[in-house]
A = this chain, B = another copy of it.
């Protein structure tokens, strides 16, 4: 059973704070191993990657077979059913349409002193996408990472996906093909991240690495951050459903379970203003857990981290939601639209009972790579913005420099940066001489 809390209880604050602070992830300290792997790949390139792949994935590759050939990709894609291909294609089209609207605008204007100011956005030249192997190989994640990069205009997009014992999910290759990925390497772990960041004889280095992975991958991304850009370090998934009594308890139960089934460390919250509705949802969860394929995982998550909180009213629900800063927030209330505008911290909001979170995972259009572990307080889901960068632009005229240069000179002097001031002064003197 999950934890039951009520804001009316005298120990609510203590228990709620404990829930927020629950350490859900046991991150093994793999940092020193990862540091060695990265150093090895930097020093020996392909040779190191191939050795580590033989060791960890039990797969003997060569520099030539590290990359999937066009024939291999075609052969794998041929295994995908038409229905799956059509579903991936619809998802890709919708994700592309949503992300195309995120492209930021360039700007250039002339201000009141005659200075031209502005900025210009350009895509990252090359990006690498880490795709996990094994049970957590999700073709939907390939679409969610690759399409924003391609919409941004990234010229070269490489995927690394480990294939333990040679096993590959054909849907991953189909998703990569649909998304327009340029290169696919059958490597994984910290060695793949190192190869993408530093390059090897076979793999050209990229400028940005995104995508989820295990503790080794996360540690490697943290280490190469600075040499290349990275996306967030994702933690276990979370959902908060805020629901009033006018919902089918089974729908809400399934929404809670669709996070819980991801991972034993996932966390599912229900906040409701009706305690008996909360009980009904809890009962519906138990019933579904009897038959769910992944009941061992979902049951552990729900038992260890699940919670049902009863509140006095929906304003209280929003206040608690902002403390949770949930990755996914479902609003199943009569006034869901109005409630959504009151929320400050959430990765994604699913408005109304007809919008199960699973729609957002696959097909809605918004990205499913979202900030976890309360990081929605300061970060956003993956987007086109992760694959572009801004160059600021300035152009002074003599008149503009005459108007604002003396203040720059003054500030440079106050910071004892003489050359800064002189670089302005030399030009101001010329202006004065020209004027004289």
Contact = CB atoms under 8 A, between A and B. Distances in A.
Interface string A357-394: 11111111111001101011111110101000111111
A226 B415 CA distance: 34
Contact of A91 (B122, B288, B411): B411
A18 interface: no
Contact of A376 (B262, B345, B391): B391
Interface stretch (A1-9, A46-54, A187-195, A401-409): A401-409
B97 A111 contact: yes
A138 interface: yes
A33 interface: no
B378 A366 contact: no
A422 B122 contact: no
Contacts of A185: none
A58 interface: no
Number of copies: 2
A164 to B, nearest CB: 17
Nearest to A331: B395
A429 to B, nearest CB: 10
Contact of A366 (B119, B222, B292): B119
A219 B262 CA distance: 33
Nearest to A226: B233
A293 B119 CA distance: 34
Interface stretch (A67-75, A251-259, A304-312): A251-259
A420 interface: yes
A109 B107 CA distance: 24
A288 B251 contact: no
Contacts of A232: 226
A288 B419 contact: yes
Given A91-B411, A140-B415, A350-B395, 5 more contacts: A122-B345, A292-B418, A354-B395, A355-B395, A376-B389
Interface of A: 83-84, 86-88, 90-91, 94, 97-98, 101-102, 104, 107, 109, 111, 115-117, 119-120, 122, 124-125, 135, 138-140, 171, 207-208, 222, 225-226, 228-229, 232-233, 248, 250-251, 254-255, 257-258, 260-262, 288, 292-294, 298, 336-337, 340-341, 343-367, 370-371, 373, 375-381, 383, 385, 389-398, 400-401, 404-408, 410-412, 414-424, 426-427, 430
